[in-house]
Amino acid sequence: MSAEHHPSLLDAVKGQPKQVWITAFAAVIAFMGIGLVDPILLSIAKGLDATPSQVTLLFSSYLGVQVVAMLVTGAASARFGAKRTVLAGLTLIVAATALCAAAGSIEQLVGLRAVWGLGNAFFIATALSVIVGAATGGQSGAILLYEAALGLGLSVGPLLGALLGSISWRGPFLGTAILMAGALVLCAMFLKSDARDRRTPVKLLDPLRALKHPGLLRTSVASALYTAAFFAVLAWSPFVLGWNAIAVGLVFCGWGLCVAVAGVALAPRLAARLGERHAASAAVFGYAVLMLVLAVPGKPVLVAGIIVSGLVSGLLNTLFTGTAMSISDAPRPVASAGYNFCRWLGGAVAATLVGHVAEWFGSPQAPFVASAVLCVVAGALLSLRERQADPHTLPQEAALVGEEF
């Protein structure tokens, strides 16, 4: 997707049918779930008498199940139809979030977050095809709507978590359940009846077979290492800050806005100037430097580092996907599935280990230092010379950072 041909948001929103707006609204709420728990991590730990390592499992279970489920969502949509798949995902999310509000132990909450991740996988992977299929003004405008939903969700999620979490840690889960229930009703009423997805069927193991390509494998592993660092910021920094829900929510609202702006507006320009792989390599080395900045004691430095890291994360979300889409001859949906499987598996593992790393080294800054090392390795992998030329335009799928969540 070249920066020169990217439509404006105003162009993208003109004259869209109801089902596009309804699906986009549901997507905003789904993306809110990514940062929803950040401001209330400390409250959950206190309310359920849980350790930081136990609380970060809320990210691990959510991501781990979602990663595996993403491999089968395409087949499910083709078999049962987009509308049924969307409604099934929304139903799972509503049930899981409502039960999260009533959880009596950290183990129950972790298990319910896994169900939430399963629902998110079915919804998010299918919502894009619904928006693209129904939107007026072409695919690029539909993609921009989806990007806008991602940015709004990432920004509003921490704020909603903070506002409702200041009352009770159960509040954000209940609020999400109510909003998602509304989205479920609207989608059931206004989405068009199911038609079989006519995409070429993808076998379950095809995405994993695609990783036999050396360039795609290196890109996927490098992305997994970066994503581990990403979740050191997302899952661990609230514990280092030690602030109340409102303060943490405001910090991550700024972070989410930076992710959205960089992914939509800056990444295509950087790719046009340096090439996808070179731009991603430079950005991930920059992320390593930021991780070392976060390791410097001092909360003002930590806050500034978190917010600035959102800009680099927005770049990398798009640039990594662009590289994965263009580096091999595998069909783009297959390459994307294999790449996302590796990438978010790295995030799930990191969210599980981040608290333990701090305990092993006896320092709350240790996860950030470890993240810097991982990013250096990721940058080295991306710097290896490839036979193909480094593209200077991003494929349209590269902007679909929301689909990876």
Q: pLDDT tens-digit profile of 230-263?
A: 989 988 999 999 888 889 889 988 998 898 888 7
State residue 404's pLDDT score: 42
Give residue 152's pLDDT. 78
Nearest by Cα to 56 from 262, 332, 357, 273: 357
Q: Which of 125-134, 152-161, 344-353 has the lowest mean pLDDT?
A: 125-134
What pLDDT is attached to residue 402?
39
User: Considering only 43-57, 146-160, 391-405, which range has the smallest mean pLDDT?
Assistant: 391-405
pLDDT digits (tens, 9 = 90+) for 184-223: 888 888 887 755 545 556 566 777 888 888 888 999 999 9
Q: Which two tokens stand for residue 331?
A: 């069909």
More confident residue, 52 or 33: 52
Query: Which two structure tokens, joined as six digits, stand for 371?
Result: 């993240």
Residue 138 has what pLDDT?
Answer: 54
Q: Please report the domains of the chain, with CATH numbers, ordered by start residue.
A: 3-197+204-404 (1.20.1250.20)
Higher-pLDDT residue of 34, 271: 271
pTM beyond 0.85, yes or no: no
Structure tokens at 294: 């976060």
Q: How does residue 123 score in pLDDT terms, banded at 50, 70 and 90?
A: confident
Q: How far is it, in rounded angstroms, from Cα 270 to Cα 31?
A: 25
Element (H, E) at 84: helix 82-100
Report the share of the chain in percent with pLDDT over 90. Answer: 29
d(CA 12, CA 16): 8
pLDDT value of position 270: 87
The CA distance from 282 to 17, in Å, is 41
| pLDDT at residue 39 tops 80 | yes
pLDDT computed for residue 107 by the predictor: 94
Residue-wise pLDDT tens digits, 286-340 = 999 999 999 999 999 999 999 999 999 988 987 887 787 777 787 766 777 788 7
Higher pLDDT, 149 or 351: 351
Range 79-96 average pLDDT: 87
Average pLDDT over residues 81-102: 90
Q: What is the pLDDT of residue 94?
A: 94
Strand, helix or coil for residue 212: coil
How far is Cα 401 from Cα 134, in angstroms, rounded to an integer? Answer: 20
Average model confidence (pLDDT) across the chain: 81
Q: Is the pLDDT of residue 364 over 90?
A: yes
